[in-house]
Amino acid sequence: MIRHRRLVSLSLGLCATAAVAFAGESPPPQAERARSATPQSAPAPEIATREAVCHWADHPPMLDGKLDDLCWKAAAPIDRFASFWTKTPRQGTTAYLVWDDAALYYAARMTDLELRSFGSKRNDILWNGDVFELFFKPNAQAPAYYEFQANPRELVFELAFPERGHNHGDIARTPPLGSRVAVSLEGTLDHPGDQDAAWIVEGRIPWTAFAPTGGKPRPGDVWRFALCRYDYGPEGTKPVLSSSAPLTKPSFHRHEDYGLLKFAGAK
């Protein structure tokens, strides 16, 4: 009888110990699976372009406003544009950048329901109409940077800035930097009331334009850059501003917010 009581006591003790041990263990596999199946919040997609690659062009493009050159087919498209200062994505712009020993080449196709332009000569105030703008800053630590523009009339704007806010005086009299552009239109220019589709731009910027900061980059070099647009609608409406760069303020000269452009060498 005494021995029987001892066996019962021993059994109860073992059960209690097992219960305590189980309470300290990890939950069973079913609980883990249920926990892993709980939806997790995905990171917000990027609406601007923080990094891009400028590929080498074995054959430079023919500037004719058509995107049928082999270099554009091999280029990395840049298509994330936004009014980032209001966190608003802007669809309808796809741009390309390539380079060789002679120049930096660019192209873009921009959807546009109202093709409008302004200006009659080089370095006119092109941004009073539809315009495609490019900004390059070869050295993040130095103040110098560059601005290039092209509009649907095949006019160019080109300035080298020693620093932001530099007073160029009469910009129409500044020395030419040698950029050239060709444009094709899918619609009618400056014809209010009809519905247009898009415009395409191809441009060439010689490395001599960047002489103040060392000229041509080397493979692997990284510049800061921003591709931007003024897109005008019907008369009396404000233009839509957009940029590939994550600009925190509506200023295309805010180079501290520019994206990074890496120059890839020849294959």
Confidence at residue 19, expressed as pLDDT on a 0 to 100 scale: 39
Q: Which two tokens stand for residue 246?
A: 């994550």
Domain ranges of the chain: 2-36, 51-263
Q: Taking a C-beta distance cutoff of 8 angstroms, is the pair 144, 213 a contact?
A: yes
CA 107 remoteness from chain centre: 14
Amino acid at 120: S
Q: Which two tokens stand for residue 57?
A: 């062009």
CA dihedral in degrees (245, 182, 172, 96; nearest 10)?
20
Distance separating alpha carbons of residues 138 and 106, to the nearest angstrom: 17
Confidence at residue 30, expressed as pLDDT on a 0 to 100 scale: 54
Confidence at residue 45, expressed as pLDDT on a 0 to 100 scale: 85
Distance separating alpha carbons of residues 82 and 79, to the nearest angstrom: 10
Beta partners for residue 221, in sequence order: none
| C-alpha closest to that of 96 among 106, 104, 81 | 106
Query: What single DSSP character describes residue 122?
Result: T
Q: Which two tokens stand for residue 222?
A: 């990284």
| C-alpha closest to that of 83 among 228, 264, 261 | 228
Query: Which DSSP string do the residues of 132-170 spell out, in sequence order?
Result: EEEEEES-TTSS-EEEEEE-TTS-EEEEEESSTT---SS
pLDDT in tens, the chain (267 residues): 333 443 334 343 433 443 333 344 444 555 445 454 545 666 778 999 999 999 999 999 999 999 999 999 999 999 999 999 999 999 999 999 999 999 999 999 999 999 999 999 999 999 999 999 999 999 999 999 999 999 999 999 999 999 999 999 999 999 999 999 999 999 999 999 899 999 999 999 999 999 999 999 999 999 999 999 999 999 899 999 999 999 999 999 999 999 999 999 998
The CB-based long-range contact list for 248-255 (8 Å cut-off, 24+ gap) reads: 248/84, 248/85, 249/85, 250/83, 250/85, 252/133, 252/135, 252/147, 252/226, 252/228, 253/135, 253/147, 253/161, 253/164, 255/135, 255/137, 255/145, 255/164, 255/224, 255/226
Amino acid at 126: L
Beta-carbon count within 10 A of 223 CB: 23
Confidence at residue 43, expressed as pLDDT on a 0 to 100 scale: 72
Q: Which two tokens stand for residue 122?
A: 């080089």
Q: Taking a C-beta distance cutoff of 8 angstroms, is the pair 170, 98 a contact?
A: no
Q: CA end-to-end span of the chain, whole Å?
A: 92
CATH code of the domain occupying 51-263:
2.60.40.1190
Confidence at residue 267, expressed as pLDDT on a 0 to 100 scale: 84
